[in-house]
Structure 1
Amino acid sequence: MAKFLHVADVHLGFDRYNSKVRTTDFFHTLWDVFERYAIGEGVDFVVIAGDLFEQRMIQPAVLNQAQLCLQQLQAANIPVIAIEGNHDNCPYGTKTSWLRYLSDWDLLKLLEPAAGEQFYLPWDAETRRGGYIDLDCGVRVLGSSWYGAAAPKAVEQIAGAVSALPPGPGSTVLLFHHGLEGQIARYSGALRYSDLLPLREAGIDYLGLGHIHKYYAVDNWLFNPGSLEANNVEEGAFERGALLVDLVDGQVNAQLQTDYRQRPIVRLSLKLRGQEALEDIEKLAIALLDGAIAETRLIPDQQPIVELRIEGQVGFDRLELDTKQLQSRLHEHCGALIFLLKYDVDAMAYGTPLMDDADRHQVEREIFTDLLSAHNVYKKKAQSLATGLVDLKDRHLVGDSDESLYRLVEQMLNVPNTPTEHSR
């Protein structure tokens, strides 16, 4: 029996949200996964099905993170077998990659099909090159490249090359960095399951995928573990992790492992109905945040990533809410590592039907009434204020003094009759 760990889409060097702490999360996660499920479970080998790195060009600190994690396995005599994904394959115009560098330093074995007639060459320990490797635990592991839109044709080529190989040990694993259709929305270019079946017919017992950051498995043959960490808040809802696999003479038992160090993500929605005053929004948001974070039972001192979406309708001009200031205060209040505020509301609209023969005063009054009714502060007195505004306009047109116009406004708003700058 062979036991191995299947990970993909590690994305070391992740640099979104402008947070150095968040970048190091991906290193700590990989270290913890290797410690728990590779070393802790005594696996025979580890496979990385693409995208070890976030970018093709990486910073020295990111390379050091990869080396530290791989040295941890090297010290435990656990070999690591990897393929390149779309994030970490050779940069344009170059002939090598950072995965090739790590392979040359014997920290992993980068499997790459050959460009010549013999598609799959056996692993050569001296040149550190090859497309497949036969392991002492009785498993043959084959690699592949990042093919993009050419993946369907590549599957046919791989299947033919696998069928032409000499007999191997008891079980065969193929690593392939590509996605299966129907797993996530808005993903074009995914393969159909029928496109991959030639690989099964060619003798692949375990098809180990990467690329889509969500766990899925089909027919106990095709497996995608998903990313170890969420790359955005939407992925926080995905089931994902590392696959711990037992493989005996082609029979697969793969279990998804998720109990490891991950940054918690809290996503909330505050639905407004247009009845709330502007000054109530922050209070409602704080109450929602406090309740949700308490329910997640966070580990002490573990700052979450929080996204709050404010949606619905407001009874005031939507631009009156200073979203930057609100985001700053809410971020400070909840102590999140990253706080994202999404503000997507509409001002309440009113439309009073008018008769075709309505006169100018009626039209003006109804327009004023609709505008005032859409504002939470003035809607209760909309009709009386609308009548006052029509009167105010008429008085201004006939030349009433500024002092009398100000007195009318004070009466409309029930403001005490105090001297104004203009009346002094």
Structure 2
Amino acid sequence: MSPVGGDGVSGRAVVTGIGVVAPSGIGADAHWATVTARERRTGPITLFDPAGYPTRVGGEVPGFEATAWVEQRRLVQTDRWTHLGFAATRLALADAGLPERAPDPYGYAVTLASSSGGNLFGQRELQRLWGGTSRTVGAYQSIAWFYAASVGQLSIHHQFKGPCGVLVAEAAGGLDSLAHAVRTIRRGTPVVIAGATECPLSPYALACQLRSGLLSDVSDPRRAYRPFDRDAQGYVPAEGGAVFVVEELGHAVSRGARIYGEVTGWAATHDAAPTRPDAAEATHYARAMWQALERAGVDPSEVDVVFPDALGVPAHDRAEADALRSVFGDRPPPVSTQKPLTGRAHQGGSALDVATALLAFAHDTLPASAGPDDPAEGCELDFLREHRTPRHRVALVAARGFDGFNTALVVRGAAPRPRRPAEA
């Protein structure tokens, strides 16, 4: 990629850093190794005792120690969800070759997605209020649970004082954050931290998710989450996600940054209807995909791979397959999902799909899908059964948020990095 215009300012937004903190591992390399090995990382929930709940399987970040990523004075003010965000952001900045403190604070912004907020922190404080003798909560209860807490804490810690914000659209929000980052760059801010992390594994959060009727109650982690499969019975909740350094193209080129790819198109629509386990509608979801492709200037035939929402609820899986067929005709592009390996991390999960897409282009390999083994009726798509080399270096990432949110994002990968002799 090269900048357009003689002044080096293009208004184009590229990704120069990827930070992953997910059940698939800590760091982009660990995530990619899990994806290509198709190694399942879901298992019994350990962050609390889920014995009294029908859902007892989840996706947790292995070996995560918050003290390695967050200074003590911020550790006590924040939730695990924010701790994951701190780690992913530090990894993304290091990957991009940028300092942790901005040399030009107003040239850096933070725009992340959120949904359930700091529920583990809130759970602990409310239990102390109602179950302890002090009948009090800590001073940070008023901010640690708040859905914008991660954005606020990251902007303070890193001194990123450009336009900051939080996107709330459940799983769709992870893609919305990247779209908002592009808008922010086009308005003159050269560097934006975007993406999302999530931690929905607490008694309160699990109870809220169970109310939807969309969670799997299968106790075997190997069979609990099977999107598009005849045995699909719901999703498995997960924590973690991915954070990106999104940068104006001219700014990235001028400092010699490695570029993973460009965000070229996006669109968001709404169903204007609540999410139900027994019914789903695909018209507005398909419209988001059409608009994203159109805005990206991409013909449907150029799409190498689709990373779908993959909810794992039969009616919603069929609706998603219908949406893809309405956009791409009878021969949709290959479809690949890694969510059965990690669980569904809400907005963090869609951000993780973007990370997978960009890493696929960096490694010149489209990863095989982690299922289905036996596609359900109406879900007979071209699921990638083996790794494949991309042709056009274009991916469509799609996500649906509870109660009607739909977002689609198009990313175009940069040329793959030359392999080192040891990798050849």
Q: Whose radius of gyration is greater, 1 or 2?
A: 1
TM range (shorter): under 0.3
